[in-house]
Amino acid sequence: MTSPGFDPLVIAISSRALFDLADSHAVYEQEGLAAYQQYQIEHEDEPLLPGVAFHLVEKLLNLNQLVDGAPVEVILLSRNSADTGLRVFNSIEHYHLNITRAAFCGGDSPYRYISAFNSHLFLSTDGADVRQALELGVAAATILPSVKGNTNEQILKIAFDGDAVLFSDESEKIFKNKGLEAFTKNERDSANQPLAGGPFKPFLHALQQLQRAFPSGESPIRTCLVTARAAPAHERVVRTLRAWDIRIDESLFLGGLSKGEFLQAFDADVFFDDQQGHCESARHHVATGHVPHGVANR
């Protein structure tokens, strides 16, 4: 396909989300920085095993084989120094991942480079870095230890929670403070008033632009909204997405049911949710990112 004519979708990812660095991190925690540096140098020619977000990154980068102009770029952000990070880049080369840009921060947090790279999404195993990214206005999630089979299906499937992820937490605040009845009444009364955007709205918009580069029915990307909402609170969600001119491929209004098995049925490559309880359920079925945003995380 020809170039899509829009800016690339930029994903920033930490080295510990991309690769399994458990062994070397244990050396750091037990023996200190000097031992960690020596360990990485001694093993720099041994490829790291894939981490929890590895297959997601693979699928994202594979989209560049389908559209001219490289519409997806993955940036590596790491607390390693360039010296100890050589093992990470060697592993990138081993797996033939087209990742060429990186920031190695020598022990400091790399979050300050997220906006400089024009990132739409930041994935990390470090919750503090994720919170900093969210404060910068960038969609970000803490990738949790998760179960995810590496299926052969080529379609990239991304699932989102609604309130405090795609949408603001304005309605969730009413639910937390006043209960379900007040929440339902507010959503019914406000059905024609679009919700404000949450931290993942810009990422979903960029993803939608990429979907539209493909003919109708041929996109290798599918999105799914998985929300605890139920009727009649569904109407405001539908009208909000319509007002944003964003189309979600599948929408699950679960009315409080556990999300894990539904995400497994959708076969999500990753699921983003603001509530720890939902993430705990989901991570046993699919790769899961906790979004520490909104009233549920205060």
* Residue numbers annotated as active site: 161
- Selection from 118, 53, 43 nearest residue 87 by Cα: 43
From CA 88, how far away is CA 76, in angstroms rounded?
9
Dist. CA 188–CA 207, nearest whole Å: 29
Q: For residue 141, list its beta bridge partners.
A: 123
Helical axes 33-42 vs 22-31, angle rounded to 10°: 150
H helix and E strand count, the chain: 12, 12
Strand order in the sheet with 121-124: 101-104, 72-78, 9-14, 121-124, 139-143, 288-290, 270-273, 156-160, 221-227, 250-253
